[in-house]
């Protein structure tokens, strides 16, 4: 696969390394400032030999980058976050220009497999009211926000599948928790890249499902896999489409 990397920051550089290890070709790295990038701006010239563009740049340029890529008839993996208020415009791009976009706020393959497991576990637990779910996450001491986006997504999965839970609470609780509330709590400290835990606790035992990231490589590997997946597809996709396709071997998401 011939890859153009758009955004040569921390993620762009890890993607370059991992893609080469997997035998892919990096035909260009695009970044207006970063040293080591081969081009400053995306253009149809750079894209000529490309199969896929993997974009981990900045929110302000995500839509414009996608437009350049789709106009050139190329596919794009959009890992950049923060552009989601433009979701309709991004979708519109694919309908007017053709081509394909796959986006996700979390391309980690492990996390997405974890989500699929949590979803099934929550479906099972919907029938067992003696098990009470709660979520805890750990991150390094530089993280600016809490709970993590991943923990919030885990909360949505639980709420969607377990009828007795309908409200996520993540603030410090100075009162007893209500039965319909799902608690997400956070710890900040050290260098932890990200650990997420879903616990189902009953009066007699505890079931714990845990994902532990060792670094940012998981995002890179998932984004490369998304590039491989989207290469022969047309349409607007989220990583959930890819996961369902791979898990079920079902190609019905291919809108080409
Ligand atoms: N979806 C996921 O799984 C996932 C995982 C990790 C991170 N992310 C997201 O990916 C993005 C990048 O993260 P990061 O940690 O790699 O950040 P980063 O180290 O700051 O890298 C972003 C790079 O993009 C460059 N850039 C700015 N304008 C550009 C343009 N027009 N075209 C191409 N590149 C441009 C930036 O240059 P300047 O320094 O000059 O601005 C910077 O070098 C963020 O939105 C982050 O939230 C997503």
> Could you read off the pLDDT of 227-246 as tens digits, one per residue?
999 999 999 999 999 999 99
Domains 2-107+217-248 and 109-212 share a fold: no
Mean pLDDT for the stretch of residues 114-140: 97
pTM of the model: 0.87
Q: Pick from 13, 32, 69, 110 the residue to mutate for probing ligand 1's pocket: most ligand atoms within 8 Å of its CB.
A: 32
Give the Å distances, CA to CA, from 102 to 78, 246, 250, 251: 6, 14, 17, 15
| Residues with a CB atom less than 6 Å from ligand 1 | 6-12, 30-34, 56-58, 61, 65, 79-82, 104-107, 219
| Angle at 144 (CA atoms; ends 142, 148), nearest 5 degrees | 105
Supply the DSSP symbol for 39.
B
The pLDDT of residue 126 is: 98
Using the atom order of ligand 1, give the atom closest to the CA of residue 81.
45
Q: Could you tell me which CATH number the domain at 109-212 has?
A: 3.30.360.10
Percent composition of the chain: helix, strand, coil (DSSP 3-state, to 5) = 40, 25, 40
* Helices then strands, each counted (H, E), the chain: 8, 11
* Rounded Cα gap, residues 96 and 154, in angstroms: 34
Q: Are strands 167-169 and 206-212 parallel, antiparallel or unpaired?
A: unpaired
Q: What's 2-107+217-248's CATH class?
A: alpha beta
The pLDDT of residue 254 is: 47
**Model confidence band, residue 253 (pLDDT cutoffs 50, 70, 90):** very low
């Amino acid at each position: 696969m011939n890859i153009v990397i758009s955004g040569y920051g921390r993620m762009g550089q890890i993607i370059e390394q991992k893609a080469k290890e997997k035998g892919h070709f990096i035909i260009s790295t695009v970044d207006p400032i970063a040293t080591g990038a081969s081009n400053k701006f995306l253009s149809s010239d750079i894209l000529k030999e490309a199969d896929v563009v993997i974009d981990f740049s900045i929110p302000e340029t995500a839509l414009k980058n996608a437009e350049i890529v789709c106009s050139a008839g190329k596919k794009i993996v959009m890992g950049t976050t923060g552009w989601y208020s433009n979701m309709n415009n991004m979708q519109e791009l694919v309908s007017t220009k053709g081509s394909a976009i796959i986006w996700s706020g979390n391309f980690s393959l492990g996390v997405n497999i974890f989500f699929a497991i949590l979803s099934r576990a929550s479906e099972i637990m919907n029938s067992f009211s003696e098990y009470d779910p709660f979520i805890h996450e750990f991150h390094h001491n530089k993280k600016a926000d809490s709970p993590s986006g991943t923990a919030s997504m885990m909360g949505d999965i639980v709420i969607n599948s377990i009828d007795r839970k309908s409200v996520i609470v993540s603030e410090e609780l100075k009162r007893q928790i209500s039965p319909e509330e799902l608690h997400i709590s956070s710890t900040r400290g050290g260098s932890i890249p990200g650990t997420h835990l879903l616990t189902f606790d009953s009066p007699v035992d505890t079931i714990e499902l845990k994902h532990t990231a060792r670094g940012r490589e998981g995002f890179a590997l998932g984004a490369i896999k998304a590039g491989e997946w989207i290469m022969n597809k047309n349409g607007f996709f989220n990583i959930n489409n890819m996961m369902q396709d791979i898990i079920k071997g079902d190609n019905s998401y291919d809108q080409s």
